[in-house]
Amino acid sequence: MATTIFGHRGCPAHEPENSPAGFRYALTHGAEGIETDLHLTKDGVPVIIHDETLHRTTNGTGQVADYTLAELRQFRLPNGECIPTLADFLQLVGTAPVQLNLECQPPLTKVSGL
C-alpha cells in the first residue's frame, strides 16, 4: 500500500494556512496532493479559507459569506497576501501532478467567477 503525502491547507508549519505561499511551498517540497477548504463570498465567488469567519486567519472580522470578493480583498493573511479565490488556487497549481481535495464548507450551491 502506498502513502500519498498531502499538504493540508498548504504547509502551515512554514507559511500561513491556505495561503498562496503555503501552496507553493507544498508543491516545491514534494507534496503529492493539497487539501483545502472553500467558502462562498456574498457574491457567490468560492474563496480558499478554512473557517466561516475571518478573525482566526486574517486581519478581518465577521463571516466570509457577509462580504463580496471586492470587500474580502481588503483583508490580509499573516504574510500580507489576500485570501485566494478558487480560480487563483487552480491557476497556482496549474498542471502540477498533484491530487486536489477541495472541501466545500457548507456545500456550494451558487458559484460564480469560475
How far apart (Å, rounded) are the C-alpha atoms in residues 57 and 84? 12
Q: Which one-letter DSSP state was computed for residue 82?
A: P
Active site residue 29: no
Q: Which of 14, 29, 39, 50 is catalytic?
A: 50
Q: Residue 2: exposed, middle, or buried by beta-carbon count in 10 A (0-12, 13-18, 19+)?
A: exposed
Active site residue 55: no
Pairing of strands 6-8, 33-40: parallel
Give the active site residues. 8, 50
